[in-house]
Amino acid sequence: MKHDDTLLHVRGTARYVRDIPVPQGTLYAAPVPSPIAHGKIKRLDTSAAAAHDGVVAVLTARDIPGQNQIGNIIQDEPLLAAGEVDYAGQPLALIVAESMAAARGARPLIEIEIESLPPTLDPRQAFARGEIIGVPRTFALGDVDQAWSRCHVVVNGRADSGGQEHVYLETQSALAVRQDHGGVKVYSATQSPTVVQRTIARVLGLAMHQVEVDVPRLGGAFGGKEDQATAWAALAALASFRLGRPVKLTLNRHEDVGWTGKRHPYSSDYKIGLTEDGKILAYEVTFYQNAGASADLSPAILERTLFHATNSYFIPHVRATAASCRTNLPPFTAFRGFGGPQAMFVLEAAITQAAAALHVPAAEIQRKNLLRQGDELPYGMGLETDSLVRSWDELDKRHDLKACRARVAAFNRSHALTKKGLAVMPVCFGISFTTTHLNQAVSLVHVYTDGSVGISTAAVEMGQGVHRKIRRVAARTLGIGLDRIRMESTNTSRVANTSPTAASSGADLNGQATRLACLQILERLRQAIAADRGCLVEQIHIDREEVLRGHERLDLSWEELIAWAYARRVPLSAYAGYATPGIHFDKVKEKGRPFAYHAVGTAVVEATVDGLRGVPRIDSVKIVHDVGQSLDPATDRGQIEGGLMQGIGWMTCEELVYSPEGKIQTDSLATYKVPDIGATPEVTVHFLEDAPQQVGILGAKTVGEPPLMYGIGAYFAILDALRAFRPELPLIIQAPMTAERTFRALRP
Ligand code: LUZ
Ligand code: MOS
């Protein structure tokens, strides 16, 4: 699979933040975590630690020159705890030493007395106590209350889904270097360079122009570095600012898993009503989001939960309510799908239960209620594409869903000790930041005098291939080869006011801006040539590094053209901005057109459960996905496969366990089980053909987050297999469906 950095990655020579050669005199910082989940700080004595060999300083909240505040959407999160601790792992102090070993070694010497308060871990309990972040929100369509009486079946239940650790390969890291103008330059492993810059400026009491943030690349992020790279960068910057020396801060895996936020666990109540022939008439759902101890991105994630409450289905009467509930766990944060998967899980549970009540396969109900082009979603936008229905039908055509079901049933009749199950999972995911103003990007393009091109954008390369896609856009726009083009690091001094590389929009937004910048340069070149040759600008084109007048090849290569243009004083750099057109959302009415378009597709998942050992296994996943005209098919395939596996992991084996005191028990990869190569099913991916796409970049649709949600099918495929063992088995709607859970389900 070709990625810009394939060779570097395979050889282990790609430089991440922690691989940057450190300047002379660099110090190392180790945060001191709160040992308990909730309490009042009575005493924090750092003197013994400060006197430890190699320790240069121990910093606490009192050492912060600006505001002790890193909250992004809501300012409710201190950088260093002061007065109270709200979760186990919350940074209390920062030990800065000549080596990382000395910094970590001094940790036990910190003397802390905390008066313990009872922790709240459960979102429903937090809700009952009024511990709500922001206000609960409701999206509605039609009149759900009067619709129930017209339903043939109404079922209701409760669905719970667990959190998920990001397991990015590169743990959180930052290197801060104080500058001679009094500011700091920070190398940060973040998806949001501007958020890091703004927050450091706030914490240090500096202007933003005194803070430069540079991101070379990330070793994965998945949302885990959208908001939660900030604290570590700010701590390193604080230490560098106070001590006047470079400071490096990296978390080891144990610290990272223990202290940082994860996907939000949700607990939800649902009620669904259908007509006799399986049309969904009404759906009511209440989501209790476990936000953890501070807001972080929770309000935005809550909003996306509401946007995706009806996933791929048209439901005429809907009421979806969501509340973000404050608990004493590390603040939960962005994770691929951003609250969407949690919503879709609940609706699939409701449909599965309704199907059982109607004695029809769930797939029949799913297909019958699929969103069609023009159907109105509860947030007021009509679906702009017919690709969803087409993806289902294409999947059916290629794999014959009825025949699959018959094959599974035949297998189950002839096997007593193992059973198979099947689930179809359609996905419809809105593309754009739901925070409308974030849907903007700028790109800075330099053409050097040798014809090589350097591009700076806000897009952070985290393995997803966004840099390659942007290079493709520039190559196609300029009519030159990919090898001439290089992506620079993401840097706030070269490209300011960057939106996070998130919401599956990195290639779309930064690709569009890059296209516009390239068009500016191209236009200048064409004008100069036309003037020189005495012809119309419209006649001049550049294709495959050659200049054409109409169909006539002028004897001028790209390199010659650029050298010539430079000598003619044609500016060879451009800076262009792009803002997604036509999107808006009214948060009072909860209606609008929040998304540029929807990413859609359908998957069918087949699972086998071993009835003796209780072990579930996902056998195969077949996917038809709409990527439009792919900018890079190999990358897109990789994203679909990777996203799928991450979704399967969330739904099946990845389980976070906390003690009653609110301390994480699954704080390493020995106890937190991610799917491995042995758990990988046979995956077939087909790109939906002839899918028109006007909005994405050069006819391509994004691919980042949506495929994760195909993994939800894994849960329901296992459930289907369990019910083949015991048809009377009550629905278990509590993800993940771990081996322990399937085992117990078969032995009540
Ligand atoms: N981040 C964000 C996201 O700030 N807003 C979003 O709408 C979003 N959606 C998906 C993933 N990250
Ligand atoms: Mo994200 S969940 O960082 O797009």
Confidence of residue 732 (pLDDT cuts 50, 70, 90): confident
Other Cβ atoms within 10 Å of 633 Cβ, number:
12
Half-sphere exposure for 479 (CA within 13 Å, toward CB): 19
- Helices 633-652 + 712-725 axis angle, to 10: 50
Predicted confidence at residue 691, as pLDDT, reads 75
Q: Which secondary structure element, helix H or strand E, spans residue 577, and what is its range?
A: strand 573-579
Our answer on whether the CB atom of 338 is closer than 6 Å to any ligand 1 atom is yes
Our answer on whether the CB atom of 334 is closer than 6 Å to any ligand 1 atom is yes
Does the structure show a pLDDT above 90 at 592?
yes
Fold classification of 440-579 is Aldehyde Oxidoreductase; domain 4 (3.30.365)
Predicted confidence at residue 452, as pLDDT, reads 98
Q: CA–CA separation, 247 vs 236, rounded Å?
A: 6
Written as one string, the DSSP assignment of 22-90 is: PPTT-EEEEEEE-SSSSEEEEEEE-HHHHTSTTEEEEE-GGG-SS-S---SSSS---SS--SEE-STT-
15: its two tokens: 């430089």
Our answer on whether the CB atom of 223 is closer than 6 Å to any ligand 2 atom is yes
pTM over 0.95: yes
What's the CA-to-centroid distance between 646 and ligand 1, angstroms?
18
Question: pLDDT tens-digit profile of 344-377?
Answer: 999 999 999 999 999 999 999 999 999 999 999 9
Predicted confidence at residue 690, as pLDDT, reads 78
Our answer on whether the CB atom of 300 is closer than 6 Å to any ligand 1 atom is yes
- The class level of CATH for 266-434+587-745 reads alpha beta
In one letter, which amino acid is 119? P
Q: Ligand 2: which atom is nearest the Cα of residue 705? A: 4
Q: 191-200, 463-472, 565-574, 727-736: which range is least confident on average?
A: 727-736
What's the CA-to-centroid distance between 407 and ligand 1, angstroms?
40
Q: Which ligand gives the minimal distance to the CA of 166? A: 2
Predicted confidence at residue 585, as pLDDT, reads 98
Question: pLDDT tens-digit profile of 670-702?
Answer: 999 999 999 999 999 999 987 776 677 889 999
Predicted confidence at residue 383, as pLDDT, reads 97
Q: CA–CA separation, 190 vs 629, rounded Å?
A: 29
Written as one string, the DSSP assignment of 513-566 is: HHHHHHHHHHHHHHHHHHHHHTS-GGGEEEETTEEEETTEEEEEEHHHHHHHHH
Burial class of residue 626, CB neighbours in 10 A (0-12, 13-18, 19+): buried
Which residue reads 């959190």 in tokens?
Answer: 163
Question: What does the radius of gyration of the chain's CA atoms come to, in whole angstroms?
Answer: 27
Give which of 498, 601, 599, 569 is closest to 208, Cα–Cα: 498
Query: Which of 379, 433, 501 has most ligand 1 atoms within 8 Å of its beta carbon, as the pocket-test mutant?
Result: 433
Displacement of CA 451 from its chain's centroid (Å) = 36
Q: CA–CA separation, 640 vs 504, rounded Å?
A: 12
Confidence of residue 1 (pLDDT cuts 50, 70, 90): low
What's the CA-to-centroid distance between 316 and ligand 2, angstroms?
30
Q: What residue owns the CA closest to ligand 2's atom 3?
A: 223
Comma-separated ranges of CATH 3.90.1170.50 domains in the chain: 6-118+172-250
Q: What residue owns the CA closest to ligand 1's atom 5?
A: 433
Indicate if 705 belongs to the active site: yes
CATH of domain 6-118+172-250: 3.90.1170.50
- Residue range 129-136: average pLDDT? 97
Half-sphere exposure for 259 (CA within 13 Å, toward CB): 23
Which residue reads 């009653």 in tokens?
Answer: 660
Task: Give me the chain's average pLDDT, please.
Answer: 97
Which residue reads 């933003």 in tokens?
Answer: 208
> What are the two backbone dihedrals, phi and then psi, of residue 371, each rounded to the nearest 5 degrees?
-65, 130
Contact between 622 and 604 (Cβ < 8 Å): yes
Contact between 517 and 576 (Cβ < 8 Å): yes
- Residue range 594-598: average pLDDT? 97
Our answer on whether the CB atom of 435 is closer than 6 Å to any ligand 1 atom is yes
Our answer on whether the CB atom of 261 is closer than 6 Å to any ligand 2 atom is no
Give which of 149, 186, 183, 189 is closest to 168, Cα–Cα: 189
Predicted confidence at residue 518, as pLDDT, reads 98
127: its two tokens: 């809700």
Displacement of CA 298 from its chain's centroid (Å) = 13
Percent of the chain at pLDDT above 70? 99
Q: Ligand 1: which atom is nearest the Cα of residue 300? A: 5
Predicted confidence at residue 286, as pLDDT, reads 98
Question: pLDDT tens-digit profile of 172-228?
Answer: 999 999 999 999 999 999 999 999 999 999 999 999 999 999 999 999 999 999 999
Query: Which of 72, 222, 296 has most ligand 2 atoms within 8 Å of its beta carbon, as the pocket-test mutant?
Result: 222
In one letter, which amino acid is 384? E
What's the CA-to-centroid distance between 258 and ligand 1, angstroms?
24
691: its two tokens: 């899918």
Our answer on whether the CB atom of 503 is closer than 6 Å to any ligand 2 atom is yes
Percent of the chain at pLDDT above 90? 96
What does DSSP assign to residue 270?
E
Predicted confidence at residue 697, as pLDDT, reads 87
Question: pLDDT tens-digit profile of 450-485?
Answer: 999 999 999 999 999 999 999 999 999 999 999 999
What's the CA-to-centroid distance between 490 and ligand 2, angstroms?
17
Confidence of residue 315 (pLDDT cuts 50, 70, 90): very high
Predicted confidence at residue 438, as pLDDT, reads 98
Contact between 697 and 508 (Cβ < 8 Å): yes
What's the CA-to-centroid distance between 141 and ligand 2, angstroms?
27
> What are the two backbone dihedrals, phi and then psi, of residue 120, each rounded to the nearest 5 degrees?
-105, 125
Contact between 80 and 59 (Cβ < 8 Å): yes
What is the three-class DSSP state of 434? coil
Query: Which of 165, 226, 509 has most ligand 2 atoms within 8 Å of its beta carbon, as the pocket-test mutant?
Result: 226
Question: pLDDT tens-digit profile of 612-651?
Answer: 999 999 999 999 999 999 999 999 999 999 999 999 999 9
Comma-separated ranges of CATH 3.30.365.10 domains in the chain: 266-434+587-745, 440-579
What's the CA-to-centroid distance between 51 and ligand 2, angstroms?
42
- Residue range 721-735: average pLDDT? 92
Question: pLDDT tens-digit profile of 66-120?
Answer: 999 999 999 999 999 999 999 999 999 999 999 999 999 999 999 999 999 999 9
